Amino acid sequence: MPDKDLLILGIDLGGTKILTSVINPGGEMFSRDHTVTPAAKGPDGVIQAIVESAERALEGASIAIDRVSAVGVGAPGLADTEAGLLFTSPNLPGWKDVPLRDIIQKKLKKKAFLINDGNAAALGEYCFGAAKGVSHFIYVTISTGIGGGIVVDGKVLNGFKGMAGEIGHMVISDEGPLCHCGNRGCWEALASGTALAKAARKLIETGADTTILSLADGKIEDVTAQTVQSAAEKGDSIANQLILKVAYYFGVGVANLINIFNPEMIVIGGGLSNMGERLFKPAHEVVKERAFNRAYGTVRFVKAALGRNSGVLGAAAFAFDEMKRAGFKLGA
Ligand SMILES: [Zn+2]
């Protein structure tokens, strides 16, 4: 059992997974509960899964909910942090204006706070990870989608109602592919793992000469970003071209962010970042070419340090900050 006084229950709700943990102000995690997000079951089913995950995380840390000061929830999609509403989430079908914060508060009988998952992850890297002490940085996660958060003057840029930082939905190409947000040519519709897999499937359907399909056992629906990566590693030129295209669009988006925010650091995480130089070397060339020289010359590119824990740690850090801001007595 943790002997620290101040504890927060952090919840990272993702489109595919939920991670819940008991965390102290130093970012120590006393338990970890991973579970699959039953997204198809809609809000009720997902909230039930969150509550059960919370119970297991508390059990894992051998503490009762009474010992926790507050609950911090990071959730995907457009969230109003002040009202505690999750307006909509491209990754969670059936969610519309769900008062997630208040529901969690009621179910767990504990003060709760809601933050967008990308902003939570940025806060996590700021408080405990790669951007510790860096006042101007942008966190970019590139995996099935592109998410992130913007830290300006040491504060996560939440915007007027908490909806800022949706970097994955900046429009890069106005006639680009349809994004699942409903718009066209968003950054994540062009430069994410999903975008890479989709582009590969499209080429396979047109009869392109590539080994990608055979690496997915001949099943086109099983072609993923990883399949394309494996093919590229084996020297498949089509796979390499597909990755170069994603790298190009990734670079364009990063150049935009540099020109707008003049960050000191760009922290990059997410599954696709494991591609390493194959993706980032060509992307850097594009950034160098397109961003203002002065701004490019001073920015550092750094790997995210917290991996899958960034969101849950950031959600907890957000709850700590909000509790302090509101003058709650912590540890009571
Ligand atoms: Zn979009």
- Per-residue pLDDT tens digits for 25-47: 999 999 999 999 999 999 999 99
148 CA from centroid of ligand 1 (Å): 13
Instruction: Quote the pLDDT of residue 4.
Output: 52
Contact status, residue 319 vs residue 8, Cβ threshold 8 Å: yes
259 CA from centroid of ligand 1 (Å): 21
Angle, helices 225-233/193-205, rounded to nearest 10 degrees: 70
pLDDT higher than 90, residue 81: no
pLDDT higher than 80, residue 280: yes
166 CA from centroid of ligand 1 (Å): 9
Instruction: Quote the pLDDT of residue 329.
Output: 56
178 CA from centroid of ligand 1 (Å): 8
Instruction: Quote the pLDDT of residue 200.
Output: 97
76 CA from centroid of ligand 1 (Å): 13
192 CA from centroid of ligand 1 (Å): 11
103 CA from centroid of ligand 1 (Å): 28
Between CA 267 and CA 149 the distance in angstroms is 10
Q: Which residues surround ligand 1, an ion (CB under 5 A)?
A: 169, 179, 181, 183, 186
185 CA from centroid of ligand 1 (Å): 7
Kindly report, residue by residue over 221-272, the tens digit of the pLDDT. 999 999 999 999 999 999 999 999 999 999 999 999 999 999 999 999 998 9
Kindly report, residue by residue over 133-163, the tens digit of the pLDDT. 999 999 999 988 999 999 999 999 989 888 8
Instruction: Quote the pLDDT of residue 328.
Output: 67
Positive or negative: CA dihedral 89, 90, 92, 97? positive
| pTM of the entire predicted model | 0.91
Instruction: Quote the pLDDT of residue 332.
Output: 40
Instruction: Quote the pLDDT of residue 77.
Output: 85
pLDDT higher than 80, residue 330: no
